[in-house]
């Protein structure tokens, strides 16, 4: 009786394992979703900026695992111009909202469309942001779970679209 139950359990495990192996997806099948998620994750890390220098360093470090030297060059340029110091000095809060990510699977190219909200003491500014680049496959790691790297990243559009003055009570 015990042996028959054990045989049935082993057979059931074999059937379940076989079913899961047949349904396993490859990266090619999920590339669209993973590419868009990767691009959105990078933009979130790079453009969400509270007035906290440790958090900014933390998110920039995370972002740099997802992009090539073009992202590092942009970060260094902003840092040299005092952009991050200004965020701290004015207690500004930067948030990014993704509208969409267009991805061309054959060319491995993307265009990111989003809006950035900049909240300062006296006003709230909304900016339109469009960036573009290509994606390159790399090994998956804990720091880069999608196994993709943004290359040739550039900003195509970064313009003010709305500014509201805050009412102070």
At residue 136, does pLDDT exceed 60? Answer: yes
Rounded average pLDDT over 90-115: 96
pTM above 0.85, yes or no: no
At residue 102, does pLDDT exceed 60? Answer: yes
Radius of gyration, CA atoms only, the chain: 22
> What is the percent of the chain where pLDDT is above 70?
85
| pLDDT given at position 17 | 58
Mean pLDDT estimate for the chain: 89
Under the banding of pLDDT at 50, 70 and 90, the label for residue 169 is low
- The pLDDT tens digits of the residues spanning 43-89 come to 999 999 999 999 999 999 999 999 999 999 999 999 999 999 999 99
| pLDDT given at position 26 | 60
Q: How many C-beta atoms lie closer than 10 Å to residue 50's C-beta? A: 16
Q: Which residues contact 73 (CB under 8 A, 6 or more apart)?
A: none
Count how many Cα atoms sit within 13 Å of the Cα of residue 117 in the half-sphere of its side chain.
10
At residue 141, does pLDDT exceed 90? Answer: yes
- The pLDDT tens digits of the residues spanning 106-129 come to 999 999 999 999 999 889 999 999
Sheet strands (E) in 2-147 = 93-104, 109-119, 123-137
């Amino acid at each position: 009786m015990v042996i028959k139950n054990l045989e049935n359990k082993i057979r059931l495990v074999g059937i379940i394992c076989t079913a899961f192996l047949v349904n396993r997806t490859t990266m090619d099948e999920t590339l669209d979703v993973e590419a868009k998620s990767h691009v959105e994750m990078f933009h979130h890390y790079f453009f969400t900026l509270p007035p906290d220098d440790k958090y900014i360093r933390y998110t920039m470090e995370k972002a740099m695992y997802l992009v090539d030297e073009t992202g590092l060059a942009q970060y260094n340029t902003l840092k040299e111009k005092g952009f991050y110091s200004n965020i701290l000095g004015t207690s500004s809060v930067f948030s990014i909202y993704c509208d969409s990510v267009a991805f061309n699977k054959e060319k491995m190219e993307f265009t990111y469309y989003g809006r950035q909200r900049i909240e300062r003491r006296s006003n709230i500014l909304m900016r339109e942001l469009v960036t573009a680049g290509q994606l390159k496959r790399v090994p998956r790691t804990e720091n880069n779970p999608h196994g993709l790297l943004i290359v040739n990243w550039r900003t195509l559009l970064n313009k003010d679209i709305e500014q509201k003055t805050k009412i102070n009570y």
